[in-house]
Amino acid sequence: MQLHQEKFRWLCASLLAATLTLSAQLFAEDAATTRLSHAAQLLTSGNLERAENEIQAVLRLSPDEYRALDLLGVIRILQHRTTDAEELFRRVVEIKPDFASGHAHLGLLYLQVGRPKQAIPELREAVGLDSARTDASDALLHTWREQAQASTAAGDSATALALLVDARKLAPNNPDVQFELGMAALRMSLWQDAIEAFQRTLQLRKDDPMAVWGLGRAFMGQSKFEEARDQFARYVVIRPDDSSGHCSLGMTLAALEHSADARAQFDQSIALAPAQTESYYRLGLLDLENKDLDSAEKDLRHAIERDPKQSGALAAMGRVEFERKHFSEAAAFLRQAIDNDDSLRVAHYYLGLTYSRMGRKPESDRELEKVTQLEQEEVEKQRTIFKISDPGSVSAQTP
């Protein structure tokens, strides 16, 4: 109820602001419509009755005077007679389809009564006809962002992205829109789109920590580890007490084969948030790569104790046991990892190798086939992403 009242106040404020603009225009352009200008002034001063009298006088002489009908619609909204208002605004845009105010008022009304799908085309039309109509553009932007948030919450990232692309066209210099678009692109692995959005965000809002983080994450998605490393390094300067920043920086440093520096970042992350699993898991991976199996086990067991379903850590423990040639133990860990995440390619790979070493060829073949299948699916997915990013081309040769 409170929300409803707030929306109504917002709508009224928008309408009155628009009416002021209208009255100014009327004064300027046509002396014959003095009555309407007067009505607009009365309306903005809150004298609805006198305003309506002036408008009705005009309509008696000229029943299709769209400006009068539009002003009357505003009065009806202020009188909470939304059905009558809708009818009036619809008549306005029917009589004068290129009258931005009519579309704007109709759109705003639709928003007021909770019909955003109908509101959006009217508001778009209003903005298209008159790009200076900030009431319509603000409302449109607000609606798109709200809908994008709802779509994201419902798991529909594609719709969210489409809405935010529209929002960005409308407000290219709005850092919130750019950031939200970046996040939506990130969720869809549209790395290049995310990078461009976050870069624009940072042009508009320098050192926005979340945009810096998002930019780093998008660079990681593109395997541009140096660029990612730069962004996460910037992030930990901005937010030195955020453990996830140190962990992310550690991941990029590990990818760049700076093992010692990566280790320092993971340690820092653990010092800031000892209850986490991710940095322990990453430390375990570093040890595993260097075949320091005992250290790897120690770190990975930390991660698994805290989160028994951490599929990455389970798979890494499977690799530790595989390296030790403890194939039964390896298979057990790797199966657990797959039970928690069937798309974990590395787990299928080492389970295939493990079964092969155990002489279980059919099972090995099945797992290794799954590895190939998962990789092909990833290639296909990547190809689709390329097409979305650049529909005119096919994928380029990249590492």
Partner 1 sequence: MGRSLKVIVLVLSVIAILSGIRTAFTGKEIFAAESQTSAPPGRFIDVTEKLGIHFHHQASPTSKKYLLETMGSGVALFDYDNDGRLDIFFANGARLDDPTPKGTIPKKDDAKYWNRLYHQKPDGTFEDVTQKAGLDGIGYSTGTAVGDYDNDGFEDLFVAGYGRSTLYHNNGDGTFTDVTAAAGVAGSGWMTSAAWVDYDNDGRLDLIVARYMQWDFDDVYCGNRATGFRSYCHPDQFKPASVLLYHNDGNGKFSEVSHPAGIDKPGKGLGLAIADYDRDGWMDILLANDSIPEYLFHNRGNGTFEEVGLPSGAGLDGNGSSFAGMGVDFEDYNNDGWPDIVITDLAYQRYALYTNAKDGTFDYSTSVAGLGAISLLHSGWGVHFLDYDNDGWKDLLIVQSHVMDTIEVTEPNLRYREPPLLLRNEHGKKFADVSALSGDVFHQEWAARGLAVGDINNDGKLDAVVTSNNGPVWVLMNHTETSNHWITLKLVGVKSNRDAIGAQIRISTQAGEQFATVSTSGSYQSSSDKRVHFGLGAADSIREIAIRWPSGIHQTISNQKADQIVVITEPAAGNY
Q: Which of 259, 301, 306, 340 binds partner 1 (CB under 8 A)?
A: 259
Q: Which of 87, 156, 261, 329 binds partner 1 (CB under 8 A)?
A: 261
> What span, in angstroms and rounded, lies between the C-alpha atoms of 173 and 161?
17
399 binds partner 1, rule: CB under 8 A: yes
> What span, in angstroms and rounded, lies between the C-alpha atoms of 44 and 372?
69
Q: Shortest approach of partner 1 to residue 291 CB, angstroms?
A: 5
Q: Shortest approach of partner 1 to residue 269 CB, angstroms?
A: 14
What's the first-to-final CA gap in the chain, in angstroms?
56
Q: Which of 26, 185, 218, 236 binds partner 1 (CB under 8 A)?
A: 236
Whose Cβ is closer to partner 1: residue 90's or residue 239's? 239
Position of tokens 């609805």?
A: 48
290 binds partner 1, rule: CB under 8 A: yes
- Tell me the CA distances in angstroms from 150 to 110, 154, 156, 159, 171, one per residue in order: 18, 6, 9, 10, 20
> What span, in angstroms and rounded, lies between the C-alpha atoms of 69 and 51?
12
Q: Which of 229, 246, 282, 302 binds partner 1 (CB under 8 A)?
A: 229
Whose Cβ is closer to partner 1: residue 21's or residue 395's? 395
360 binds partner 1, rule: CB under 8 A: no
Q: Which of 30, 289, 305, 342 binds partner 1 (CB under 8 A)?
A: 289
Report long-range pairs for 9-13 (Cβ below 8 Å, ≥24 apart): 11/77, 11/108, 11/109, 11/111, 11/112, 12/77, 12/78
Among positions 294-333, residues that touch partner 1 (CB under 8 A) are 323
From the list 304, 245, 233, 286, the residue with the least C-alpha distance to 269 is 245
> What span, in angstroms and rounded, lies between the C-alpha atoms of 187 and 183?
6
215 binds partner 1, rule: CB under 8 A: no
- Tell me the CA distances in angstroms from 323 to 201, 337, 359, one per residue in order: 46, 17, 17
260 binds partner 1, rule: CB under 8 A: yes
Burial 257-293 (b: 16+ CB within 10 A, else e): ebeebbbebbebbbebeeebbbbbbbbbbbbbeeeeb
363 binds partner 1, rule: CB under 8 A: no
241 binds partner 1, rule: CB under 8 A: no
Handedness of CA 165, 170, 173, 174 (dihedral sign): negative
Going by the DSSP 8-state scheme, the letter that residue 307 receives in this structure is -
SS3 231: helix
Whose Cβ is closer to partner 1: residue 10's or residue 386's? 386
- Stretch touching partner 1 by CB under 8 A, among 13-21, 98-106, 329-337, 346-354: 346-354
Q: Which of 357, 358, 366, 388 binds partner 1 (CB under 8 A)?
A: 357
Q: Shortest approach of partner 1 to residue 257 CB, angstroms?
A: 4
Question: How many residues are listed for the chain in this entry?
Answer: 399
204 binds partner 1, rule: CB under 8 A: no
Burial 80-90 (b: 16+ CB within 10 A, else e): eebeebbebbb
342 binds partner 1, rule: CB under 8 A: no
Cβ-based burial of 117 (10 A; exposed 0-12, middle 13-18, buried ≥19): exposed
275 binds partner 1, rule: CB under 8 A: no
293 binds partner 1, rule: CB under 8 A: no
Whose Cβ is closer to partner 1: residue 17's or residue 237's? 237
Q: Which of 257, 305, 339, 377 binds partner 1 (CB under 8 A)?
A: 257
Among positions 379-398, residues that touch partner 1 (CB under 8 A) are 379, 383, 390, 392-398
291 binds partner 1, rule: CB under 8 A: yes
- Stretch touching partner 1 by CB under 8 A, among 72-80, 111-119, 146-154, 254-262: 254-262
224 binds partner 1, rule: CB under 8 A: yes
169 binds partner 1, rule: CB under 8 A: no
How many residues in the shown chain lie near partner 1 by CB under 8 A?
Answer: 53
- Tell me the CA distances in angstroms from 229 to 84, 133, 185, 251, one per residue in order: 59, 43, 20, 8
Residues in touch with partner 1 (CB under 8 A): 206-207, 223-227, 229-230, 233-234, 236-238, 253, 256-261, 264, 289-291, 323, 345-346, 348-350, 352-353, 356-357, 361, 364-365, 368, 371-372, 375, 379, 383, 390, 392-399
